[in-house]
Structure 1
Amino acid sequence: MKALLLAGGSGTRLRPITHTSAKQLVPVANKPVLFYGLEAIAAAGIRELGLVVGDTHAEIEAAVGDGSAFGLRVTYLRQEAPLGLAHAVLIAREFLGDEDFVMYLGDNFIVGGINEVVERFVRERPAAQIMLTKVAEPQAFGVAELDAGGRVVGLEEKPARPKSDLALVGVYLFSAAVHAVVGELKPSWRGELEITDAIQGLIDAGLRVESSVISGYWKDTGNVTDMLEVNRLVLESVEPRVLGRVDGASELIGRVAVEAGAVVERSRVVGPAIVGAGARVRDSYVGPYTSIGASCVITGSEIEYSIVLPRASIAGVGRIESSLIGRDVEVTPAPQTPKAHRLLLGDHSKVQIGS
């Protein structure tokens, strides 16, 4: 079995961060989201990976390399524009050959990995197998309709009137039968080749499409709220360690990781939290569920439930929370400007002006 990992999206919901960085490389717990997908694929015993990239291909290729660091052999597949998930299958046809494959969306995060779903697919050999999860607003997702036996009988992409609350999670498994269907697809109203249409084509052809409803945690990390939530979840399992320097006037409470070269002085860090390699935290408070990136500088400030990307500096700021702060950002207090009052007062007026 091979794998197809999609990392070609532009990440419009994470702008302005993604104006200068690939959305799949935005870190949670100081590790790019994309790396969690690479690790999940390798843990499932898959070694051949096609990595679909777009405009940010140079940055992703520099981060992933040949894949050997993850136990993978990576072939890069260039997608000229984000023209749909099924379009990614179309351009990967030569790489995939006639082998079964798993398709994994690079900005998705799934607790527990994909080992079980891969093993089930290999054992039962349907034409396709999808993962589903119950969501509160199915109109925003691809939605599946199941029969009484749990087999998929219909799929719709972002339906106005969903037939169920079961949304497709960003992991799909296919046999080679999908290629014939993808080759006949026409663009949807969104101008994309939809993977839901491809799966529906398999169903219409009388082929078996199975599903499994996951009970664990899944997030599409396409916006800041979800990024922070995934960061929180990953930090829950952080192992406390001090590889850097923490002075005697500082206090570490709970599960706090201070990486090599980091310095914590006259500060309080409450875990779960990570202070990245080479970062400096001075005269500050770092609260729970915060990831401070490598070489950041936090001085005279408070920050909690946030992600700070490498080389950012925060100085003299009273309190920051629920924030995603990009690389090389500088956050400082606004300058104090003299206050002036412009008055037009009638005769015999009395005015009290606060100092």
Structure 2
Amino acid sequence: MKALVLAGGKGTRLRPLTHTSAKQLVPVANKPVLFYGLEAIRAAGITSVGIVVGDTGAEVRDAVGDGSSFGLDVTYIAQHAPLGLAHCVLIAREFLTDAPFVMYLGDNFLVDGIADLVDSFRKADYDAQILLTKVAEPQFYGVAELGPNGEILRLEEKPEHPRSDLAIVGVYTFSPAIHEAVRAITPSARGELEITDAIEWLIARGHRVHSHFVSGYWKDTGRLQDILECNRIVLEMINGAVCGAVDGRSEIAGNVVIEPGASVEGSVIRGPAVTGADARVRNSYIGPYTSIGDSCLVQDSEVEYAIVLKDSTIKGVSRLTYSLIGRNVEVTRAEGIPNTHQLMVGDHSRVQVRA
């Protein structure tokens, strides 16, 4: 069995961060979301992995390499434009050959992994298997409508008026029958080859398509609130480990990870929280559910329920929360008068300030 991991797409809901970075590499607890997926694939006993990449392909290649660090053999498949999930299957035909495979959306996060899904597919005679879970905002997802006996009646991709609250989780398993389906369908109104259309094609022709519900935690990390929630969930599972330097004036409480080379002076860190390698925390408060990236500086500030990516500086900020700060960002307090906010903000950004 093989795996097809999708790591392209535009990541429009995480702009401006994803103008220059792959959304799949946004870190959760200081580890890229994509890495959790690759580890789950290896834990399911799959080692041959094709990764579909787009505009940010170079960054993904640099991060993953040949896959050997994950125990995988990785092949990269270039997609010139985000033309849909079924299009990814179409262009991966040579890599997939006639092997059954799992398709894993690289920005999805499942705490319990995919071993159970893969095992059930291997033991059964299905041509497709989808995972479902109930969500509060189904219009942002592929949605399944089930009959009274749990049979799949209809699948829709990001419908304006969803027929149910059952979202299709971004992990699928397929037999080689899917290749005929993706060749047979036509682009949707969104201009994409939808995997939901391909699965419906299979159903209409009598192929066995199975669904079951996700038992553990799942998130699509395409939005700010979702990636912060994933960060919270992962941090709740960490074990504290202080490998950096903490002075006698500092207080470390709860499960806190301080990576090698990091230093904490005159500060309070309340876990669960992670401070990355070579980061510096000076006279500051780091609150629960916060991930501070490598080589960051947090000085004279308070940060809580936030993700701060590597090489960024937060200085003189009285309270920063519910935030995602990109790489090489400076967030500092303005000095002097008048008492104003001074901003340099890129396209598609969101800034909230208190008057």
Task: Specify the TM-score bucket, using the shorter chain as the normaliser.
Answer: over 0.9
Say whether residues 1:305 and 2:305 are aligned partners.
Answer: yes
Query: Tell me, what secondary structure is at the counterpart of 2:126?
Result: coil
SS at match of 2:104: strand
What is the SS of the residue equivalent to 2:99?
A: coil
Q: CA deviation at 1:322?
A: 0.6
Measured in 2, the distance between the counterparts of 1:338 and 1:332 equals 16
Bigger drift between 210-219 and 296-305 goes to 210-219
Q: Secondary structure at the match of 2:225?
A: helix
Q: Which residue of 1 aligns with 2:204?
A: 204
What do residues 169-190 of structure 1 show as CA deviations (whole Å, max 9, x unaligned)?
0001000001011111110000
SS in 1 for 2:103: strand
Counterpart CA distance in 2 for 1:338 and 1:103 is 55
Q: CA deviation at 1:155?
A: 1.1
Asked if 1:190 is matched to 2:187, the reply is no
1:56 and 1:238 map into 2 onto residues whose CA distance is 30
Q: What's 2:349 paired with?
A: none
Q: CA deviation at 1:335?
A: 2.6
SS of 1:148 mapped into structure 2: coil
Q: What is the DSSP-based 3-state SS (H/G/I as helix, E as strand, rest coil) of the residue aligned with 2:336?
A: coil
The residue identity in structure 2 corresponding to 1:244 is G
Taking structure 2 as the reference length, the TM-score comes to: 0.94
For the residues of structure 2 that align with 1:159 and 1:272, how far apart are their CA atoms?
Answer: 37
Deviation at 1:156, TM superposition (A): 1.5
- Aligned residue in 1 for 2:344: none
Deviation per residue, 1:227-246 (Å, 9 max, x gap): 11100000001111111100
Distance 1:338 1:5 in 2: 51
1:102-132 deviation per Cα after TM superposition (whole angstroms, max 9, x unaligned): 0000000011000001000011121100000
Deviation, 1:337, is 1.8
Q: Distance in 2 between matches of 1:20 and 1:338?
A: 34
Residues 71-127 of structure 1 deviation map (CA, whole Å, 9 limit, x = unaligned): 110000000011000000000001101110000000000110000010000111211
Q: Which residue of 1 aligns with 2:100?
A: 100
The 5 Å alignment of 1:1-355 reads 1-338=1-338
Counterpart in the other structure of 2:348: none
Give the 3-state SS of the residue equivalent to 2:184 in structure 1.
Answer: coil
Q: Deviations over 1:186-220 (max 9, x none)?
A: 10000000000000000011111000111321111
CA contact (8 A) 1:238 1:255 kept: yes
Q: Do the aligned residues in 2 keep the contact of 1:101 with 1:175 (CA within 8 Å)?
A: yes
1:30–1:150 CA distance, 2 compared to 1 (3 A): same
- Which amino acid is the alignment partner of residue 118 of structure 2? V
SS of the aligned residue for 1:215 comes to coil
Identity of aligned residues (%): 65
Deviation at 1:139, TM superposition (A): 2.4
Partner amino acid, structure 1, of 2:258: V
TM-score scaled by length of structure 1? 0.94
Say whether the 8 Å CA contact 1:154–1:203 is kept in structure 2: no
Q: Give the superposition deviation at 1:338.
A: 4.8
- Measured in 2, the distance between the counterparts of 1:140 and 1:55 equals 23
The whole-number CA distance in structure 1 between the counterparts of 2:35 and 2:153 is 34
Whole-Å Cα distance in 2 between the matches of residues 144 and 26 of structure 1? 28
SS of 1:40's partner is helix
Return the alpha-carbon distance in structure 1 between the equivalents of residues 157 and 37 of structure 2. 23
Runs of 4+ in 1 over 4 A off after TM superposition: none
- Partners in 2 of 1:143 and 1:174 — Cα distance? 18
Q: Which structure has the larger Rg over C-alpha atoms?
A: 1
| Structure 1: unaligned runs, 5 residues or longer | 340-355
Would the aligned equivalents of 2:20 and 2:56 in 1 still touch at CA under 8 Å?
Answer: no
CA distance in 1, matches of 2:155, 2:325: 38
RMSD: 1.1
1:224 CA displacement: 1.0
Distance 1:174 1:31 in 2: 29
Q: CA deviation at 1:312?
A: 0.4
Query: Which letter does structure 2 place at the counterpart of 1:276?
Result: G
- The 1-side partners of 2:141 and 2:32 are apart by 24
Deviation at 1:144, TM superposition (A): 1.2
Report the residue type matching 1:196 in the other structure: T
| 3-state SS in 2 of match to 1:211 | strand
Q: Residues 150 and 210 of structure 1 are in contact (CA less than 8 Å); yes or no, is this contact kept in structure 2?
A: no
C-alpha deviation, 1:136, in angstroms: 1.9
